[in-house]
Structures are given as C-alpha cells and as structure tokens.
Structure 1
Amino acid sequence: MTTIHGVELTTTAATTFGNVLTAMVTPFDQCDRVDLPAAERLAAWLTRDGWNDGIVVNGTTGESIATSDHEKSKMVGAARRAVAGSGKRVIAGVGAGDTRHSIRLAQAAEQWGADGLLLVAPYYSRPSQRGLLRHFLAVADSTSLPVMLYDIPQRAGVAIEPETFAAAAKHPSIVAVKDAKGDLESSSWVMRETALEYYSGDDALNLPLLAIGAVGFVSVVGHVVGDKLAELFHLYSQGRVDQALAVHRELLPVYRGMFRAPAAASVKAALAALGMPAGSLRTPLAELTAEEHTALLADLAGLTNAAAAGAGVSQPA
C-alpha cells in the first residue's frame, strides 16, 4: 500500500483513466524542437509512485496549437515509453477546429500507443449542439480508444450542453468528461443523468467537483504538487472531508500562482526552478516576467518540497 504524507492511497472505485492526471507541458530544446528525451524524463517523474495515475499530452498546457501533427505523435510515443509496464495511462489530446483533422490525430494517437483520447469542443467555429454531437461521435467512431470530452467554453467558444452530453454518453467509447466550465449546477445535472466519469479540469474547483460526484482531476498544478492532489483525493474518498478541505486551502496559493499567467508559462518556470526539463515556449506564448516569476515562486514556497526532493534538487528560495 502506497502512503503519501501519512495518507494511505486506498483502492477506489474503478475508473477508465485513474483519479489524478496531469496535463503535461511539451518540452522544447534550445533549437525549439520537441525534446523527446526530456518528455520521457518528465512523464516518468510525474507518474512516480504516489503522484499521478497518468498524463495527458498534446492538450492546451502542452501548447498543442503550436505543435505539428508529427510532433504530437512523437509526444504520445515518448509518454508511452516513459510509463511502459507501470500501469499508468497516456491520454492524447486530439482537439482541432475541424472533424477530419481530429480524426487523423485520434488515429495517429492510437497507433503511437495512447490509452485514451481527450477531445475538446471544436474551437473558433462555434458549432451548434447538433454539430458538436456529430463531431464527437465521428471521432469516437474512428478508433477503439475511450474518449474524454473536454468542456471549456471560454477557450472553445461554445459550451457542451447537458443534453449533448446525454446523447454523446450513449456511444460506448465516450466515457468521461474533463470539466472546466465552472458551472457546478450544469455538471451536477450531467452526472445525475449519465454514467460519464467527471474530472475536474479547473484546479481551484477540484474539491467542489468531488463533492458533487467527480472521480478525479486533470490538473495543471499536478506538475509540482501531484502528491498533494493524491492526498486530497484519497482523504475525500475516505470520508475525511475536513482534512481534504485543509489540503484544498493549503493549495490555494499554488492554484493562484500557476494561473496568474498562461499555465504553460507558469509550469515551465516552476519546473525549471525544480531542475526539471521543460524548455522555452513557442509564440504567441511568452516567458514570465521577472515580477511574475518572483510571485510564482512565492506562491509555491513550502509546497514543492516533495517535488524538489523527487527531482534531486534543493528547494528554490
């Protein structure tokens, strides 16, 4: 039995993807190429015992808008090699602005060894709910992999309505939701009317979403406090709600710090402070300013000791 911070990580109800997942950044080398050895090292580090049950590659935090289809496939392969034999999952983001492109990404992800797909609502075109459903079903039909739908209207430009979730849930491959809508009432209705596994996609709402039936997290802050997220989840699952609430409140500065700037920029700065590979950002994203960097490290102070120890470096001042 694995123990983290004195909390036993007890067996919970079976889920398709596990309980604690991190949406991983895409490391770049000094020549702005995807750094596959760094990606393998980071994926292995994030999925060590007591941390994440799996990772999501090629999502928003992975700068998917700025990587080619070939680079995305290579990232899936690197993540697969990193977790081989561990039982940890690799979920591939296959979001695109059109259905045919998402299908190509989904089929490539399956060929390169993904365990599942993260499918965001098509962005920019703002399709109708009927169009969304057609898109989701077409991608789900294109591979044998289980699909997690991603509801993030502030980025996609369109929300997935409860009725659309209910219709999509009839497809045997559509099994889960990454919820970053920030509408607990809507999420509650979907959880009441379907068997879809709900994951918090907004770290500040991790605990509230557990309270209404979520099964876990697809996190950004899991890059640096994956152990604390595991602790929070298992405390809540064991009915130790007051202790879970204490962890939630302890993590509030981390949530604030990691989302003050675009998440990929904050994560890469935090990983660099821990001596872990991440590299630069691709434009239009920009590195943190000196002031933002100082503020981020202040928010992370005292909560990344386990991360620093796991990386084999001293805690940054």
Structure 2
Amino acid sequence: MTSFTGIWVPLVTPFHGNAVDYAALQALASRLVHAGVSGLVVCGSTGEAAALGEGEQLEALDAVLEAVPQCPVVMGLAGNNMVHVLARVQQIQRRPIAGLLVPPPYYIRPSQAGLVDYFRALADASSAPVILYNIPYRTGVAIEPSTFRTIAQHERIVAVKDCGGDQSLTMRLIGDRQLQVLAGEDHLLLSTLCLGGSGAITASAHIRPDLFVRIAQLVRNGALSEAREIFYRLLPLIRLLFREPNPGPLKAALSMMGDMQDALRAPMQSASAETKKQLAHELRRLECL
C-alpha cells in the first residue's frame, strides 16, 4: 500500500482551445516526477474536474499513468449520488491507481452519521486506499474530529487532505495517529510538516517542485531553519497563485513557463492582467533560487 508522504501535486488539466491537451498533461507529469515529487493527483479541484466529462476524466488518468508508470497516481472522485459514485469507483480501480481522493458529498450537506456511511461504502467498494478530502468551503460540510476517528477505523481509509483551515483540528488529527495528514492549504505546508504531518498535496508545487520537495526533506531531517528560509521565499508566489480562483493564476504561470496554453473552461476565468504581471515578476525572482 502506498505511503502518502512528501510532496504530491494535484495536476492542472491543460486545454488546447476547449479540448484537453493530453500531450501537455503528460509532459507536465513527467517534469514533476523528474523533479522528485512523491506522487500526482488527477482530477482534483485544481484539475477542474467538475468541468470535465466522465470520459475526459478517465482519459486524463490514463494519459498520466502512461506517461509516468513508475509514479504513484491518485484519482479524485467527487459526487453526491451514491449509486453513481460507487459505479465510478469500479471504473477507476480497473487502473493501477495508488488511491482515491474523496471529499464529502457536496451541496447536500449530510449529517456526520451520513458522512460515516458514505465513506465506509466507498472504502468497502474500493480496492485502493482512500484519502479523505476535508474541504468544507467547497462541500458545505466539515468532517468533525469524532467522525474522523470513526471513519479512520476502516482499513482502507488511510490519509486526509486537510483543507479545513483549523490548526487545532490539524494537530488533533496528527496526534491521533490514525491517518496520515497531508496539508491541503499551500500556505500551511510548513506548519503542517513541522507539527508532524506526513506531507502535502500542494498546487503551488507545479512551480519549482524541487524547492517544495527540498522543504519536506529538510523538515524530515530536522533542518528547520533552512526549511523556513526556502518556504518564506516561496510564500509570495503561493499567495499570488491563490489571489484569484484556482487554477486561474496557476495556469497563467505555467503558460509563461511554456508548459501549456493559458486556457480554462467557463465559468472559470484566466487571471487578471495585474496578477499576471506580478506572477511574471515572481517567476523571474525564483529563477535565482
């Protein structure tokens, strides 16, 4: 079973016009793996999964698995129709995935008991490990500490992407030692690692992934002063990448780097001219690191 440690990157989905640019996706995946990231996530929120058809999602997964067969790849899976989501599990797990990244059902805001039933049903149906995706500002419901403890008793529920923004919950999850805790808010990367988190799923690591990998290595080795120095040099970029809705600024930056077109699917919008100007400045500055 895959250990969810280190730096994982939730891949953007490149477009050429309005079609998925699978060649650019494969090249991006290869670049990130070459830089030393621990794994990749396909069809997370950064990948604009909600704007992709089911066929496109599976084709994106297949493209990444083909490009980096040696790299662990997690697939995002979101929905609020249990029958449909369980059917998707069966389709996805025909591929050699390292895990599923699953948020609570969005919009319907189930009770905590409903969350337990939902995640248990998914884990029962899955042959792959499950990473809980606690992101209440997208789903409308937060997973409570006691619910985490109950859900974590399932043998295939092994980790959590922590986007709750609640440091007390983060510390509790790490202290309980039931789940591997991955930072999901990029600006909380260093604090989560220093508190004992296992790693991060961080969109910002598309840019200078080597430095993000280095931070995780330094924390693991106890070199906190050097880790802080690198993190604070990256922090202006991290803040810029989330100044406007993700992945608008990120795709603008990747376009400047020559990785893909600056194209998103409506209603998502490209970054503003001012944000692009500041991103260009940050990219030039980071070239010197």
TM-score by length of 2: 0.95
TM-score by length of 1: 0.87
| Cross-structure match for 1:11 | none
Matched, 1:26 2:9: no
Whole-Å Cα distance in 2 between the matches of residues 108 and 15 of structure 1? 20
| Cross-structure match for 1:309 | none
| Cross-structure match for 2:206 | 223
| Cross-structure match for 2:38 | 53
| Cross-structure match for 1:164 | 147
Query: In structure 1, which of residues 181, 195, 204 is the aligned counterpart of residue 187 of structure 2?
Result: 204
Q: Report the alpha carbon displacement of residue 144 of structure 1 after superposing the two structures with TM.
A: 0.4
The AA in structure 2 aligned to 1:41 is A
Whole-Å Cα distance in 2 between the matches of residues 36 and 304 of structure 1? 27
> Quick one: structure 1 residues 83 and 171, their matched pair in 2 at CA, closer, same or farther if it must change by over 3 Å?
same
- 8 Å contact from structure 2 (residues 100, 128) kept in 1: yes
| Cross-structure match for 2:29 | 43
Aligned residues: 289
The AA in structure 2 aligned to 1:56 is V
Query: In structure 2, which of residues 76, 79, 85 is the aligned counterpart of residue 93 of structure 1?
Result: 76
| Cross-structure match for 1:244 | 227
| Cross-structure match for 2:98 | 115
| Cross-structure match for 1:312 | none
The AA in structure 1 aligned to 2:57 is K
> Quick one: structure 1 residues 270 and 150, their matched pair in 2 at CA, closer, same or farther if it must change by over 3 Å?
same
Q: Write out the 4+ residue segments of structure 1 that deviate beyond 3 Å after TM superposition.
A: none
Secondary structure of the residue that 2:9 maps to in structure 1? strand
> Quick one: structure 1 residues 226 and 256, their matched pair in 2 at CA, closer, same or farther if it must change by over 3 Å?
same
- 8 Å contact from structure 1 (residues 200, 217) kept in 2: yes
Whole-Å Cα distance in 2 between the matches of residues 105 and 209 of structure 1? 32
Query: In structure 2, which of residues 76, 88, 95 is the aligned counterpart of residue 105 of structure 1?
Result: 88
Whole-Å Cα distance in 2 between the matches of residues 181 and 292 of structure 1? 26
Whole-Å Cα distance in 2 between the matches of residues 296 and 209 of structure 1? 25
The AA in structure 2 aligned to 1:36 is Y
Q: Report the alpha carbon displacement of residue 299 of structure 1 after superposing the two structures with TM.
A: 3.2
Q: Report the alpha carbon displacement of residue 35 of structure 1 after superposing the two structures with TM.
A: 1.7
> Quick one: structure 1 residues 15 and 73, their matched pair in 2 at CA, closer, same or farther if it must change by over 3 Å?
closer
Q: Report the alpha carbon displacement of residue 46 of structure 1 after superposing the two structures with TM.
A: 1.3
CA RMSD in angstroms, aligned pairs only: 1.6
Whole-Å Cα distance in 2 between the matches of residues 258 and 112 of structure 1? 32
Which ranges in structure 2 are unaligned for 5 or more consecutive residues?
Answer: none
Q: Report the alpha carbon displacement of residue 289 of structure 1 after superposing the two structures with TM.
A: 2.1
After superposition, the C-alpha distances for 1:256-300 in whole angstroms (9 at most, x for unaligned) are 111011121111111110111255100110111212211222233
Matched, 1:261 2:244: yes
Q: Report the alpha carbon displacement of residue 15 of structure 1 after superposing the two structures with TM.
A: 6.0
- 8 Å contact from structure 1 (residues 119, 149) kept in 2: yes
Q: Report the alpha carbon displacement of residue 185 of structure 1 after superposing the two structures with TM.
A: 0.8
Alignment of 1:187-198 (within 5 A): 187-198=170-181
Query: In structure 2, which of residues 266, 269, 286 is the aligned counterpart of residue 283 of structure 1?
Result: 266
Whole-Å Cα distance in 2 between the matches of residues 195 and 278 of structure 1? 41
- 8 Å contact from structure 1 (residues 257, 300) kept in 2: no
Whole-Å Cα distance in 1 between the matches of residues 22 and 86 of structure 2? 24
Whole-Å Cα distance in 1 between the matches of residues 137 and 240 of structure 2? 20
Question: What percentage of aligned pairs have identical amino acids?
Answer: 36
